[in-house]
Amino acid sequence: MSESQLRILIADSDLPVARSVAEFLEASMGCSVTLAGVAASPNGDDHHRVEDFAIVFVDQAIEVASGYAFLTGLGNRSTTSVIISTSIPSIEEVIQAFRHGAVDVLFKPYDFRDLEAAVQRAAREHRQRCLRNELLDHKEALADLLGWRESDVETGLARCGYGRMEETVVSR
9 forms bridges with which residues in the sheet?
34, 56
Q: Are 140 and 70 in contact (CB under 8 A)?
A: no
Does the protein bind another protein through residue 55 (CB under 8 A)? no
Using the contact rule CB under 8 A, the part of the chain among 27-35, 45-53, 63-71, 162-170 near another protein is 162-170
Q: Residue 9: name the closest of 37, 28, 30 by CA.
A: 37
Binding residues among 111-140 for another protein as defined by CB under 8 A: 121, 136
Does the protein bind another protein through residue 94 (CB under 8 A)? yes
Q: Which of 39, 65, 95, 130 binds another protein (CB under 8 A)?
A: 95
Q: Are 47 and 72 in contact (CB under 8 A)?
A: no
85 forms bridges with which residues in the sheet?
59, 106
Type of residue numbered 79: T
Q: Are 34 and 4 in contact (CB under 8 A)?
A: no
Q: Which of 32, 98, 135, 148 binds another protein (CB under 8 A)?
A: 98
- At its nearest, how many Å lie between another protein and the CB of residue 165? 4
Type of residue numbered 162: Y
Q: Which of 6, 54, 97, 123 binds another protein (CB under 8 A)?
A: 97
Residue ranges in contact with another protein by CB under 8 A: 76-77, 89-91, 94-95, 97-99, 102-105, 121, 136, 151, 154-155, 158-161, 163-166, 168-169, 172
